[in-house]
Structure 1
Amino acid sequence: MKVVVGIDVSKDWFDIAWKENDRIKTQRFDSTASGINQLMKATPADAIYVMEATGVYHARLAVTLFETERNVAVINPLVIKRYGQMRLSRVKTDTADASLILSYGESVEFMLWKPEPHHIQELKVAQGWLDDLTEDMTRLSNRGHAQSYLVVRSAMVDRQFLRRKEQLKQDITECEAHLEKQVKKHFAELYKLLNSIPSIGSKTATQLIISTGGFTKFISIKQLSAYVGVSPTTYESGSSVRGRGGIAKMGQGRLRQLLYLCSWTARKCNPSCVALYERLQALGKPAKVISIAIAHKLLRQAFAVATKKTAYSPEFA
């Protein structure tokens, strides 16, 4: 019988729950190197340590356990939340959460976790920074649009606005160049293959590689589509509920946005996407539905060239 240690991670400490002689034991440790050592001394060495992916706070604990050859599982927090709702959990404390994670870990089978290579982690950090810079630029552009309607302007605000906008442009350009350089360094062949797809450019190829870990995280296009958030949904029940379907927007918003933008070019230059566009347009499908379908087609093409290690070819697309 497997021994599971459920861990609820906070910023400054983490609570654990595990069973000894069919009784649940709980304990709290500081989120420090000393606290992690105390955890390993207090729990069986062959246990499976199960925790949620809590931003950056779980990372040091998970990596330390992995490096000391402990079994680690990192779970999507939404999965634990839904599991708690299914059990009608009414208590929300750190100790109760650790016990809930323990119960989940005992009830399912899951793949053990291992950290991604350092160059992938570095790329994701840089990509997160680029996302923040892009968000700041959008907010600043919206502010500039609003300022253009003001009757009374502030010269000081205008100067700072222009200075901040130029600095953001420079930072975004530098960050994008860094990402492209690192992707070409570590994934040169894959980057070249993805760019062979008509309408897939350097930004989208770079984002595809970073988001998928170089297409090593998925064994099927269905998994990848769900991760990106372009898989279709159905809302039906019985004979009376016939809701409007859509896509499962639970994945990579930035990558989904880039593929959506690529769909506008793909409908003109990518042969299979052109055919898809013409067919759906003849059926009277809305423009957004057609664009998402083309984005999905582009993702399938990217998955094919990446996994088959073959450049894009119209007859196989």
Structure 2
Amino acid sequence: MTRIPVFVGIDVSKDRLDVALRPMSDHWAVANQDADIATLVARLRHHAPTLIVLEATGGLELPLTGELAAAGLPVVVVNPRQVRDFAKATGRLAKTDTLDAAVLAQFAEAVRPALRPLPDAETQALSALLTRRRQLIEMCTAEKNRLGSALPPVHRGIRTHIAWLDRRLAEIDEDLAHTIRESPLWREKDDLLQSTPGVGPVLARTLLASLPELGTLTHKQIAALVGVAPLNRDSGTFRGTRRVWGGRAHVRAVLYMSALAASRFNPVIRTFYQRLCAAGKAKKVALTACMRKLLTILNAILKHQTPWTLPFSHSS
């Protein structure tokens, strides 16, 4: 007798886990704590699901994801925007925890996102440091903006807070450097990435923590994953302007700054950028192309374990 494939969606919140199964339309909820997670994992193992889908929820999903993976269950963490777009496309406009779990199960059944290796504890720790670094930078930028429009009585307090944020940012950078240097594998990859002109420690560490697929995919796949591959916007006889969107926005933001530096100091990227501008391309379009080219080069460097050299030739 053929076993029916079972698809599971789990909506994760701080205090509760809502679970939905398809195609049997079963659903229940448990507390988001260790004992209940263990019971949930055992119950799901009994169902032998084909796929379990969770949304990325800023780290709340990590304990459950780790337990599911340790139990050998096929679990995927997906971008929440993909799921909301899917829900809208299927006419589900209401949003509750129970409905969200049902949508996740339906998404698992219909889309079947590919399984990817989950980050280990070291990678999660590095990612947490990078996330905190971004938060500190955002807070520092906000305080500097406030300082420009604030009245004199509050200037001292704002400057004190900015100084504290700068010190904490320096400490985070030290922690990141120490974490990288403690791992021989990461240290080797970090050295390879930073051998490229225009690539500094921030981009190298961001790629290590947030783009572990770098060096394992083709140049087209890695560009699409980050969101720097131009996508067509055509319909009938209409031919729209190709645009980049989606992907991992925080990686793309750091890559943009590195491409900006590389367009001045990396001979390959600089020549490429100047050629595009000379051909009439807008500077923003040319810089986006430089982001894609720089990412392609870094992908090839890690794939072939070869540091930057001139002339540099890359392969997919």
TM exceeds 0.5?
yes
Q: Measure, in 1, the Cα distance between the counterparts of 2:128 and 2:107.
A: 30
Shift of 1:127: 0.6
Q: Does 1:293 align with 2:289?
A: yes
- How has the CA–CA distance of structure 1 residues 176 and 237 changed in structure 2, closer, same or farther, with 3 Å as cutoff? same
Which residue does 1:49 correspond to in 2? 52
AA aligned to 1:46 is: A
Q: Measure, in 2, the Cα distance between the counterparts of 1:168 and 1:90.
A: 41
Which residue does 1:183 correspond to in 2? 180
Shift of 1:40: 3.8
- The count of residues paired between Structure 1 and Structure 2 equals 306
Q: Measure, in 2, the Cα distance between the counterparts of 1:297 and 1:210.
A: 21
**Could you tell me the TM-score, scaled by structure 1's length?**
0.86
Which residue does 1:26 correspond to in 2? 27
AA aligned to 2:156 is: R
Which residue does 1:35 correspond to in 2? 36
Kindly report which structure 2 residues correspond to 1:110-259, keeping only aligned pairs within 5 A, or say none: 110-112=113-115, 114-147=117-150, 153-154=152-153, 157-186=154-183, 187-213=186-212, 215=214, 218-239=216-237, 241-248=238-245, 250-259=246-255
Across the aligned residues of Structure 1 and Structure 2, the Cα RMSD in angstroms comes to 2.4
- How has the CA–CA distance of structure 1 residues 83 and 306 changed in structure 2, closer, same or farther, with 3 Å as cutoff? same
- How has the CA–CA distance of structure 1 residues 113 and 11 changed in structure 2, closer, same or farther, with 3 Å as cutoff? farther
Does the Cα contact within 8 Å between 1:6 and 1:50 map onto a contact in 2?
yes
AA aligned to 2:158 is: F
**Could you tell me the TM-score, scaled by structure 2's length?**
0.86
SS of residue in 2 equivalent to 1:215? coil
- How has the CA–CA distance of structure 1 residues 49 and 298 changed in structure 2, closer, same or farther, with 3 Å as cutoff? closer
Residues 80-102 of structure 1 deviation map (CA, whole Å, 9 limit, x = unaligned): 22222222224433333322322
Q: Measure, in 2, the Cα distance between the counterparts of 1:232 and 1:173.
A: 36
Residues 229-287 of structure 1 deviation map (CA, whole Å, 9 limit, x = unaligned): 32223333233x44443321x23334333332333432343232132122112112222
Structure 1: which 4+ aligned runs deviate by more than 4 Å?
Answer: none
Structure with the greater alpha carbon radius of gyration: 1
Q: Measure, in 2, the Cα distance between the counterparts of 1:104 and 1:214.
A: 23
Residues 105-164 of structure 1 deviation map (CA, whole Å, 9 limit, x = unaligned): 2334443455311111000111111001000111111112223xx5xx21xx22212211
- How has the CA–CA distance of structure 1 residues 33 and 290 changed in structure 2, closer, same or farther, with 3 Å as cutoff? same
Between 102-111 and 80-89, report the one with greater CA deviation.
Answer: 102-111
Shift of 1:201: 1.9
Shift of 1:228: 2.5
Residues 173-213 of structure 1 deviation map (CA, whole Å, 9 limit, x = unaligned): 11112112212332111111111111212222222222213
Q: Measure, in 2, the Cα distance between the counterparts of 1:260 and 1:91.
A: 37
- How has the CA–CA distance of structure 1 residues 202 and 56 changed in structure 2, closer, same or farther, with 3 Å as cutoff? closer
Does the Cα contact within 8 Å between 2:8 and 2:105 map onto a contact in 1?
yes
Unmatched segments (≥5 aa) in structure 1: none
AA aligned to 2:243 is: G
Does the Cα contact within 8 Å between 1:29 and 1:38 map onto a contact in 2?
no
